[in-house]
Amino acid sequence: MKNTRWISLALACFMSVSTISFLSACTDKGTVFSVDFSQKDGSLPQNLKKIDMFNPTWTFMGDADGTLDPSALDTLKGIQQLKPDHFRIDMMFGNEQNGIGKPIGRNGQSGLSDGEWSLAREFIDCCRENGVTPYLVMVGTPSYATKDGDDVDFRNVPDLDRYYEFCYNAADYLKRNDIYAVLETWNEPDLEGNTYWLGSAQEWIDTVVTGAGAYYDANIFSTVISPGIARPLQFIQEKEIFNGKEMTGWDYFWESSAENDSLPDGFSWHFYGPSDGDLEGDYINEGGTGNFNYQLNELRGAFNKTSQTMDLRKVQMHLTEFHPVSNDFFGGKSQMNDTYEQVWAFYDSILRINEASDVTRVSWPMWLSTDQFGLFEEYLAVNPVYHVLWTYGRLPVDRIHVVNDSEKVGILSGADSQRAGIIVYNRSLNERQQVTINWSSLPFEADECTIYRIDPEYYTQRLPEKMPEIYKTINRVKERGSETLDIAVKGAYYIEFNTSAKMSELDKSINIGKLLKKEYYYADRGDNLPYADIFNQSMNAYVGMAGEEEGEAGIAVILGEMNKNPSLTFRYETWGELAAGESSSLGVRVDFHTAEGFSNAVYISLEGFEYNMLAPFGTGRAAEQSLLFDDSNKCTLDLKQYAPKNWDGVVEISYLIRNAGAGSAAKFFVE
Rg over CA atoms, the chain: 25
521: left (phi over 0), alpha (psi -120 to 50) or beta: beta
**Per-residue pLDDT averaged across 35-49, rounded?**
96
| Shared-domain flag, residues 278 and 218 | yes
Residues 6+ apart with CB under 8 A from 212: 185, 224, 226, 257, 260, 262, 264
Query: Over the stretch 343-395, which tens digit does the pLDDT of each residue have?
Result: 999 999 999 999 999 999 999 988 997 666 689 987 889 999 999 999 999 99
| Shared-domain flag, residues 91 and 145 | yes
**Quick one: pLDDT at residue 65?**
87
User: Could you tell me the sign of the dihedral formed by the alpha carbons of 126, 89, 74, 78, in that order?
Assistant: negative
φ/ψ (deg, to 5) at 13: -65, -40
Q: Which of 327, 360, 394 is the last residue of a domain?
A: 394
- Kindly compute the dihedral angle of the four CA atoms of residues 470, 476, 481, 483, in this order, to the nearest 10 degrees: -20
How would you label 187-207 residue by residue, b for 16+ Cβ within 10 Å and e otherwise? Answer: bbbbeeeeebbbbebeebbbb
Which CB contacts under 8 angstroms, 24+ apart, belong to 102-106? 102/66, 103/66, 104/142, 104/170, 105/142, 105/143, 105/144, 105/145, 105/166, 106/142, 106/143, 106/144
**Quick one: pLDDT at residue 26?**
54
CA distance 542 to 357: 13
| Shared-domain flag, residues 529 and 482 | no
**Quick one: pLDDT at residue 428?**
94
CA distance 634 to 571: 4
- CATH number reported for the structural domain that contains residue 354 in this entry: 3.20.20.80
| Shared-domain flag, residues 118 and 60 | yes
Query: Over the stretch 420-473, which tens digit does the pLDDT of each residue have?
Result: 999 999 999 899 999 999 999 999 999 999 999 999 999 999 899 999 999 999
- CATH number reported for the structural domain that contains residue 487 in this entry: 2.60.40.1500
pTM for this one?
A: 0.93
φ/ψ (deg, to 5) at 418: -125, -20
Q: Which of 394, 415, 430 is the last residue of a domain?
A: 394
pLDDT tier, 289 (very low <50, low <70, confident <90, very high otherwise): low
User: In the chain, pLDDT over 90 holds for what percent of residues?
Assistant: 84
DSSP 448-510: EEEEEEE-HHHHTT----SSPEEEEEESS--SSEEEEEEEPTT-EEEEEEE-TT---GGG---
φ/ψ (deg, to 5) at 366: -160, 110
CA distance 643 to 600: 8
**Quick one: pLDDT at residue 101?**
96
- CATH number reported for the structural domain that contains residue 610 in this entry: 2.60.120
Structural domain boundaries enclosing 461: 5-46+401-504
**Quick one: pLDDT at residue 224?**
99
Average pLDDT value for the chain: 92
**Quick one: pLDDT at residue 578?**
97
| Shared-domain flag, residues 210 and 139 | yes
Amino acid at 209: V
User: Could you tell me the sign of the dihedral formed by the alpha carbons of 274, 275, 280, 281, in that order?
Assistant: negative
Report helix, strand or coil for 250: helix
| Shared-domain flag, residues 526 and 637 | yes
| Shared-domain flag, residues 440 and 552 | no
**Is there a contact between 159 and 174 (Cβ–Cβ < 8 Å)?**
no
Report helix, strand or coil for 343: helix
| Shared-domain flag, residues 61 and 39 | no
| Shared-domain flag, residues 551 and 458 | no
CA distance 87 to 636: 34
When divided into structural domains, the chain yields a total of 3
CA distance 207 to 266: 17
- Please return the burial class of 358, using the count of CB atoms within 10 Å of its CB with bins 0-12, 13-18 and 19+: buried
| Shared-domain flag, residues 383 and 412 | no
| Shared-domain flag, residues 297 and 416 | no
Report helix, strand or coil for 38: coil
Give ∠ CA 183-184-189 in degrees, rounded to 5: 155
CA 596 distance to own-chain centroid: 32
Q: Which of 363, 394, 425 is the last residue of a domain?
A: 394
| Shared-domain flag, residues 206 and 332 | yes
247: left (phi over 0), alpha (psi -120 to 50) or beta: beta
CA distance 572 to 253: 41
User: Residue 270 belongs to what H/E stretch?
Assistant: strand 266-272
Of 28-32, 81-85, 137-141, 459-463, where does mean pLDDT reach its minimum?
A: 28-32
User: Residue 644 belongs to what H/E stretch?
Assistant: none
Q: Say if residue 14's pLDDT is above 60.
A: no
CA distance 211 to 615: 28
DSSP 599-616: EEEEEEEEEEEE-----S
